[in-house]
Amino acid sequence: MQEILVNKVAQSGLITIKLEDWFPKQDMLELDIKQFLFHGLILKEKDYRESMAQLDWSQYQDKVLCVYCSTDAIIPVWAYMLIAVHSEAFVDSVYFGTKESYIRHYYSIQIGQLDVTPYVEGRLVIKGCGDLPVPASAYMDLTARLVPVAKSIFYGEPCSTVPVFKQKKNI
């Protein structure tokens, strides 16, 4: 007698959501303006403007340019504005902050625009442990977005999940 194998995961009705699939497709590069400061701390306007004019902006062609300062220098707002002016013809977009903060921001926007209709009354698994650096904030934001509509939310893989949320039954 041959035993029939049954894929219980496939029959479970679980909907898997892979946040990794939403990772930004655009290449991201960082620009630390510390390198344009005198002793890494003082912005000299004339020198800074010259540096901006001489910088090879083509290296940022079609990329997301993440601009930040890694020192505790006081940077006037116009210094960041000048980067936006010089980079505009080259970059896909310019972002104030690090690559890591850009990724958090990107996920926040994607999750905020998510159509939750396909997940209404769904048994959802938010997949974890991937190859891309999906921020923890994305998991939290997605969960908060889905709790009002989901029947249940799990974290992990469909074959091995951690329960996170279960809709209370109305009596």
pLDDT bracket for residue 11 (50, 70, 90): very low
pLDDT of the residue at 2: 66
Instruction: Please compute, for residue 28, the number of CA atoms within 13 A of its CA located in the half-sphere on the CB side.
Output: 17
Total-model pTM: 0.85
Describe the chain by its helix, strand, coil percentages, rounded to 5. Answer: 40, 25, 40
Domain residue limits, the chain: 8-24+116-166, 28-91
Rounded CA-CA distance 31/101 in Å is 13
pLDDT beyond 70 at 148 = yes
**Mean pLDDT for all residues in the chain:** 92
Percentage of the chain modeled with pLDDT above 90: 84
Share of the chain above pLDDT 70, in %: 92
Flag whether pLDDT at 9 surpasses 60: no
Model confidence at 5, pLDDT cuts 50, 70, 90, reads: very low
Per the CB < 8 A criterion, the answer to whether 153 and 164 are in contact is yes
State the pLDDT at residue 4.
Answer: 56
Cα(108)–Cα(118) distance, rounded to whole angstroms? Answer: 19
Q: For position 8, what pLDDT does the model report?
A: 45
Q: What is the DSSP letter of 117?
A: G
| Cβ-contact 154, 163 below 8 angstroms | yes
Compute the distance between CA of residue 164 and CA of residue 123 in angstroms, rounded to an integer. 11
Please write the tens of the pLDDT for every residue from 49-63.
999 999 999 999 999
DSSP string, 45-105: HHHHHHHHHHS-GGGGTTSEEEEE-SS-----HHHHHHHHHHHTTT-SEEEES-HHHHHHH
pLDDT at 140 over 80: yes
Q: Which two tokens stand for residue 60?
A: 């940022």
Q: Which residue has the higher pLDDT, 4 or 123?
A: 123
